[in-house]
A and B are shown apart, each in its own frame.
Chain A
Amino acid sequence: MSLGPNAFTIASGINNAGLVVGSFGILGTANHGFLYNPNGGTFTTLDDPLAGARGTVAYGINDAGEIVGSYYDASNRAHGFLYSGGTYITLDDPSAIGDTRAFGINDAGEIVGSYFVGSGAHGFLLTITPDPPPPPGTTADMILRNGAGLYEIYDIGNNAILAGYQLGTVGNDWFFARTLGSSFAVSDLGAFNGSDTTDMLLRNRNTGGFELYDISNNNITGAASLGAVGLDWQVLGFGNFSSLGENDMVLRNVNTGGVEVYDISNNQLTGANFMGTVGLNWQLGGFGNFSSNPGESDMMLRNSNTGGLEVYDIANNQITNAAFLGTVGLDWQVAGFGNFSSNPGESDMILRNTNTGGLELYDISNNQITGAAFLGTVGLDWHVVGFGPLNGPGTSDMVLRNVNTGAFEVYDIANNQLTGAAALGSVGLDWLVGGFAADPATGAIGSSGSASQLVQAMAGFGGSAADNSNTAPFGAETSQQPLLTTPQHA
């Protein structure tokens, strides 16, 4: 490589793939690092974004393609850098009084270099211990969408956001399928592709078309068009209605009240069945396993005039049973469902009072309400946005979001009680929650997270990811408030 008079090029490191790093420049101007790929003979310039007038030099590369070197800042002090996954990470030996340079990196990611204390040089060996990966397949992840149509996924475990990834951008006429025409939080994620991990379903708000995105290892790995359904059919939700173990979709006609189930398997609509018509004064409460039949999803409807709650068992794409649960005053709205009782495989319900912000938990088993517990009161500027196993496997926790600040809080729930709370951080209010989902143990959405990916994801957090105000907005109220009337008929 030749740049002309007074120019220099030095190749400093080579890995086993033959990739070469080095530096070039013209005397009196800034240095630049380079990466040379012998396949195609391409040069890529490496410039640390923090470099000043003297520029960047690259010294070493390992077989993972991680590059080390140094840059000079605006005051001509040298700092080491590690370039990994598209991100420059500054390396300064904490003992340095002056320059630090990183010269070599091995395949284990161990880095050597030198630092100065005054005029004396010392070598250093740097080992970086990465963040532990999230527990595989046990905790829920969250998908957000912003106003520009960009989707991001956040790995959550131990009540903290462990890593985040950009999924990509989809046009603004596509939206979370369930969110169109809905008023409360329901996940638009489910295991639609038969076997693997949780996927995302989007719907075109103009055409009614459905598009399914396979998500694996925090990337969109495939997409499939499912076809279009008239926009008078709204998505109620998802669950295993076909008894085949996969997620299916229930639509309802907003004019007639008809309910239709669509089997989804291997990213295709594989069947549909009309399940019946329910009067329009019965609105969706939600889906869950209320019948205690293992693995099945049932539907709960609520009467918008009386507040009555009715459960419909669904198996083999048919309504097989119905049960009246009782009546709750209309100032209590369904906030969502999850396994709060710690009874494996069951779905319980949380209601919220629209006037007070109070939260009440109803333990449901065998199509009956078997218990109730008042959880506390949260200010009405905090909205319930979802449920999932965010702290650890097994039980469902509740995620609230502040509608004024975008802050997320998670509340651990076990044995029908609040057992803990934590701030997850803030995300700009132009980011909408798509849903929370936990994958089966064999296929975690996030199996690894490098530092660089974390940095990238936090860009979506509006610079305020570290919200330390871990103040539980719950009031101290603990009084039990039985709200259900005695079930009147079955």
Chain B
Amino acid sequence: MPVYNYTTIDDPFAFGGSATSAIGINAAGQIVGYYGDASGTHGFLLSGGMYTPLDDPSAANQTMASGINDVGQIVGSFQHSSGTTHSFLYNPNGGTYTSVDAVAPDTEALGINDAGQIVGGTLARSTASSSSTVFTPP
């Protein structure tokens, strides 16, 4: 039978050590996700055993990292102080955050492939039909 080996991932900054989710992994084994602490939700990058917090500078303490490709580019979403949800593309070279709100407000970017194609959805679930999209940021 195949052997299933589970290793727990708890961001050391997480509130009480019990508010971590791992969402994406790339070929190098780099893992992204988010954790919660007293101030809100933050993305993280786990690489080589080190946890690095990811907070979009525009975020109101509500950042989540969802996808990472083999180049190391990371996509995620954050909540603006206005209450709307926006998405970001994080480039590890320079540590820059780029907005990828290509569709509408309340956009949530969830996945990215090596070509830089990003998938996600809008979150207007309670009002009308929402849509998903694949787009390549400029």
Within 8 A of B (CB), among A313-361: none
- Chain A residues with Cβ below 8 Å from B119 are 11-14, 20, 22
For residue A126, give the distance in angstroms from its CB to the closest CB of chain B.
5
For residue B104, give the distance in angstroms from its CB to the closest CB of chain A.
13
B39 at the interface (CB under 8 A from A): no
Q: Check if A120 sits within 8 Å of B16, measured CB to CB.
A: yes
Among A5, A27, A110, A120, max chain B CB count under 10 A is at A120
Q: Check if A1 sits within 8 Å of B9, measured CB to CB.
A: no
Dominant secondary structure at the B interface: strand
For residue B77, give the distance in angstroms from its CB to the closest CB of chain A.
12
Q: Interface-forming stretch among A127-135, A229-237, A396-404?
A: A127-135
Given contacts A123-B31, A128-B3, contact A16 B22 (CB under 8 A): no
- Chain A residues with Cβ below 8 Å from B26 are 106
Dominant secondary structure at the A interface: strand
A6 at the interface (CB under 8 A from B): yes
A112 at the interface (CB under 8 A from B): yes
A121 at the interface (CB under 8 A from B): yes
Q: Check if B108 sits within 8 Å of A123, measured CB to CB.
A: no
For residue B5, give the distance in angstroms from its CB to the closest CB of chain A.
5
State which of A5, A14, A22, A130 has its C-beta within 8 Å of the C-beta of B117: A14
- Chain B residues with Cβ below 8 Å from A13 are 67, 110-111, 119
State which of A4, A20, A104 has its C-beta within 8 Å of the C-beta of B24: A104
Question: When chains A and B are docked, how far (Å) is the Cα of A5 from the Cα of B26?
Answer: 36
Chain A window 379-405, contacts with chain B (Cβ cutoff 8 Å), 1 for yes, 0 for no: 000000000000000000000000000
Given contacts A103-B23, A120-B18, contact A95 B8 (CB under 8 A): yes
State which of A93, A112, A119, A122 has its C-beta within 8 Å of the C-beta of B10: A122
13 A-B pairs with C-beta separation under 8 A? A8-B125, A8-B130, A10-B110, A20-B119, A20-B132, A22-B110, A22-B119, A91-B4, A108-B29, A113-B22, A117-B18, A123-B21, A125-B7
Q: Which residues of A contact B (CB under 8 A)?
A: 1-16, 18, 20, 22, 27, 38, 59-60, 91, 93-95, 103-108, 110-114, 117, 119-131, 451
Given A105-B25, A106-B27, 8 additional A-B pairs, CB 8 A = A8-B129, A8-B130, A16-B113, A60-B24, A93-B8, A107-B27, A113-B22, A127-B7
